[in-house]
Structure 1
Amino acid sequence: MRVPHIYQTSSIALNTPVTLDDDAAGHIGRVLRMKVGEHVSIFNGEGGEYLSEIIEVTKKTVVVMPLELNPHDVESPLKIHLGQCVSRGDKMDFTIQKSVELGITEITPIFSQRCGVKLMGDRLEKKHQQWQKIAIAAAEQSGRNFVPIIHPPIDLKQWLAQQTDAIKLTLHPRAEHSIKTITVPKDGVRFLVGPEGGFTDDEMALTKQLEFVDIRLGPRVLRTETAALTVLSALQLQFGDLAN
């Protein structure tokens, strides 16, 4: 049986008992029904993972003892920040989950003029928390020891105006540039994926005004959730995980 890989928000030290967070304890105790003496791997995003032994299990609490630090690192050398216009239904959940598996560093959900999703107040906060939990679960499943940040959703203009030294890209099916034409992004990449209805002409003009380079992925028009994952795969192949 594969040793479960669990994210823990607290500090971790060898030979010091750790009480797992509620979500992790529920997964270990109620879902997997693991018992005292079995092993889990825990990480908190500060580097490496800790092989740990379960030393206490109750209905609400799981306590583990970190026994060994493994400096295992599966992070991409390429820092990638995805600005993803919010999509309907479970498409956004899918995009976040698979982006984490493909090595994304940060994701900012974005509201644009043709975005078909309207969220405000408590609903928006709950959705943001849900997206971060999806990122945690995807990091655990894919063996990452770092959980990408899911930033609070913001308006397109706000995201475009943020200062960065990264290469800035916008996906567009009629773009003049191919992804193969960009140079090695030593400061990382920020790339923008539009909503299901696409960007307006004014929004595309704003991206160019703020020095985003529009790129195409091929002759076909891709769905918003397909586009993000295709760009991630292409970037990892050219500059990241698979570049060498």
Structure 2
Amino acid sequence: MPRFHVPGPLTPDADLALPPGAARHVQVLRLQPGAQITLFNGEGGECLATVTAMGRSDVRVRLGEHQAIEREPLRPVQLATGVMASDRMDWLVEKATELGAAALTPVLTERCALRLSGERAQKKRAHWQAVATAACEQSGRNRLLDVREQLTFQELLNTAGSAGGTRWLLSLDAAAPRLHTLAAALAPDEPVTLLSGPEGGLSPAEEAAARASGFAPVHLGPRVLRAETAPLAALAVLLTSG
């Protein structure tokens, strides 16, 4: 059944005009009055809705009962990742959403290929949030991945401690403990913050600063993974039971 994100309250038995993006999608699917769809607002749960009217540019639905369905993993995982080239960031946001990450913070590091500021940074954040929303629609998640405001590397280190839980740095240091070994010893609901670099990784100075700030290095194995692959591999280890 098609799923659509609709911001705002979803009140049972209410008559609702779908927002433009969802309405266009319903029209592209050629759904007709009487067709059923699923709506969620990103705050938890979902509800069935029945298409009642199709206009040239608008679609109206009648909402059914709210269903308190959750598909979130027990463990909240926040990704803090160096900003990568646009296509790689899009891929990471989409797949991190599907795997169940709770939040993603883009971080400006020394080796970032894409450097954004001001209005451009805000537009890119809105774009990534839209990518995450579409991935929620596809994957069945009823809570949105929170794409947070871009931080400098130092800002991240200054604020990371307030998140609580375990903090790990994805490292190429072969002497670092293996992630899957440490993850097996965590409580199922232990929050985790993962720090990962952009293309080329974190600089030696950045890695040293992260360690000094409480990020423990972890290793993913003998192969060198791309910047967009490493955090996804870590998420798969941390969230496979969720």
Per the alignment, residue 19 of structure 2 pairs with 21
Q: Is the 8 A contact 1:173 1:220 kept in 2?
A: no
Secondary structure of the residue that 1:203 maps to in structure 2? helix
* Alpha-carbon separation, structure 1, partners of 2:167 and 2:85: 25
In structure 2, which of residues 115, 128, 132 is the aligned counterpart of residue 131 of structure 1? 128
Per the alignment, residue 170 of structure 1 pairs with 169
Secondary structure of the residue that 1:90 maps to in structure 2? helix
Per the alignment, residue 184 of structure 1 pairs with 186
Counterpart mapping for 1:102-181 below 5 A: 102-162=99-159, 163-174=162-173, 175-179=175-179, 180-181=181-182
Per the alignment, residue 226 of structure 1 pairs with 229
Q: Is the 8 A contact 2:83 2:115 kept in 1?
A: no
TM-score (norm 2): 0.93
Q: What are structure 1's unaligned runs of at least 5 residues?
A: none
Aligned structure 1 segments of 4 or more residues deviating by more than 3 angstroms: none
Secondary structure of the residue that 2:86 maps to in structure 1? coil
Which letter maps to 2:177?
H
In structure 2, which of residues 62, 76, 80 is the aligned counterpart of residue 79 of structure 1? 76
Per the alignment, residue 96 of structure 2 pairs with 99
Residues 19-50 of structure 1, C-alpha deviation per residue, up to 9 Å, x if partnerless? 21221112112x21222111110011232211
Count of aligned residue pairs for this structure pair: 236
* Alpha-carbon separation, structure 2, partners of 1:120 and 1:4: 36
Secondary structure of the residue that 2:228 maps to in structure 1? helix
* Alpha-carbon separation, structure 2, partners of 1:102 and 1:137: 14
Residues 31-71 of structure 1, C-alpha deviation per residue, up to 9 Å, x if partnerless? 21222111110011232211110112212221111123332
More moved, 177-186 vs 191-200:
177-186
TM-score (norm 1): 0.92
In structure 2, which of residues 2, 7, 10 is the aligned counterpart of residue 9 of structure 1? 7
Q: Does 1:62 align with 2:59?
A: yes
Q: What are structure 2's unaligned runs of at least 5 residues?
A: none
Counterpart mapping for 1:203-222 below 5 A: 203-222=206-225
Q: Is the 8 A contact 1:18 1:63 kept in 2?
A: yes
